[in-house]
């Protein structure tokens, strides 16, 4: 990633989104989606704008050619603009996955899926696509056929524009991921789980992990859905709240996970990344059971230090590599 290039792209997205917002009745994120479309097409798609505004926008667009930028430069520039927009009014459950988390998930996935040159990948709550694209951009040698689902039409629009700008092929579906999906089981699922209640009790009743009474937890149902959509031997990389196993519904979830999969690892993200200790999260890694799939000798249990703690991170990386070496001996 080149910081100057990222800043230049952020300025392009930001300044043109602000210009669009002066004339269109829309939020910053909506304006960002519009300007992203314009940048991709090299044209202005909003006919209703005045000639003067069109000229001002064109001057910005003509000042940059995306060809001189890497996929990660583009993702980062676009991500900074999305972050600015999210400060306006996005609820915590719809927040983009932080970059450091995406980078770490990408690193750990690469280790688990090292032997596969091509694989299929599903993110059932893809949001802006930031997590998915971090993974795809950081595994350039691999052929990844990816699928994303999200219920929020603006976020998935940002994902589709991000995919175009970064030239990443992905099939996106704007729907509730708990409704039937037209996607075959995949080799790996990534999922930064939205935490909270799922309002549709009728739909929830189709799931084993429905609550015995009242609304069910959306994050429990999404874990079940993810498990159903992964092939035998496939992996799930779930970003979970640390409190996942502390609720009344937790024993049922625990039993479901043990019946269906082997726990490969639990990696606690640094608490300092989150506003409060209660909001802290972990990466939970599962492998779906199947013929010839054997459990790990030991699960990989790691507490990550602050990402800025270079020595601490090096020690952890060594521990992780050691774990993989041990597991591969079996």
Applying CB under 6 A, the residues found at the interface with ligand SAM are: 93-97, 125, 127-128, 130-131, 149-152, 155, 176-178, 192, 194, 218
- Going by the DSSP 8-state scheme, the letter that residue 236 receives in this structure is E
Q: Please, which residue, 56 or 94, has the CB nearer to ligand SAM?
A: 94
Minimum distance from residue 120 beta carbon to ligand SAM (Å) = 18
Q: Please, which residue, 31 or 149, has the CB nearer to ligand SAM?
A: 149
Minimum distance from residue 323 beta carbon to ligand SAM (Å) = 26
Any idea what the Cα angle at residue 100 is, between residues 97 and 106, rounded to 5°? 85
Mapping DSSP to helix (H, G, I), strand (E, B) and coil, where does residue 200 land?
coil
> Which residue has tokens 């502390």?
246
Q: Please, which residue, 14 or 216, has the CB nearer to ligand SAM?
A: 216
Q: Please, which residue, 173 or 323, has the CB nearer to ligand SAM?
A: 173
Query: Cα separation of 119 and 188, whole Å?
Result: 8
Minimum distance from residue 96 beta carbon to ligand SAM (Å) = 4
Minimum distance from residue 75 beta carbon to ligand SAM (Å) = 10
81 and 17 Cβ atoms separated by less than 8 Å: yes
Q: Please, which residue, 185 or 241, has the CB nearer to ligand SAM?
A: 241
> Bridge partners of 276?
none
Rounded alpha-carbon distances, angstroms, from residue 72 to 41, 120, 145, 234, 287: 20, 21, 19, 27, 29
Chain CA centroid to CA 138, Å: 13
DSSP β-ladder status, 281-288 and 230-241:
antiparallel
Minimum distance from residue 86 beta carbon to ligand SAM (Å) = 9
């Amino acid at each position: 990633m080149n910081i100057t290039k990222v800043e230049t792209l952020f300025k392009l997205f930001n300044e043109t989104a602000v210009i669009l917002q002066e004339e269109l009745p829309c939020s910053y994120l909506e304006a960002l989606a519009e300007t992203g479309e314009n940048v991709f097409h090299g044209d202005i798609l909003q006919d209703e704008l005045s000639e003067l505004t069109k000229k001002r926008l064109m001057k910005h667009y003509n000042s940059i050619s995306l060809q001189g930028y890497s996929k990660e430069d583009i993702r980062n520039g676009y991500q900074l603009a999305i972050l600015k927009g999210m400060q306006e009014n996005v609820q915590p459950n719809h927040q983009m996955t932080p970059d450091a988390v995406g980078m770490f998930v990408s690193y750990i996935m690469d280790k688990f899926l090292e032997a596969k040159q091509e694989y299929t990948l599903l993110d059932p709550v893809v949001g802006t696509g930031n997590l998915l694209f971090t993974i795809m951009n950081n595994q350039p040698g691999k052929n990844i056929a990816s699928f994303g689902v999200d219920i929020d039409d603006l976020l998935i629009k940002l994902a589709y524009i991000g995919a175009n700008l970064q030239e990443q092929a992905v099939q996106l579906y704007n729907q509730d991921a708990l409704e039937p999906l037209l996607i075959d089981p995949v080799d790996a699922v990534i999922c930064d789980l939205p935490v909270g209640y799922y309002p549709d009790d009728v739909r929830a009743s189709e799931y084993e992990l429905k609550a015995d009474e009242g609304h069910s937890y959306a994050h429990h149902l999404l874990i079940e859905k993810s498990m159903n959509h992964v092939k035998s031997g496939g992996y799930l990389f779930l970003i979970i709240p640390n409190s996942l196993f502390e609720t009344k519904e937790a024993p049922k979830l625990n039993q479901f996970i043990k019946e269906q999969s082997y726990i490969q690892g639990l990696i606690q993200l640094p608490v300092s990344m989150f506003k409060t200790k209660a909001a802290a999260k972990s990466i939970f890694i599962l492998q779906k059971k199947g013929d010839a799939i054997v459990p790990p000798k030991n699960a990989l249990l790691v507490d990550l230090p602050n990402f800025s703690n270079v020595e601490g991170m090096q020690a952890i990386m060594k521990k992780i590599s050691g774990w993989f070496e041990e597991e591969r001996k079996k």
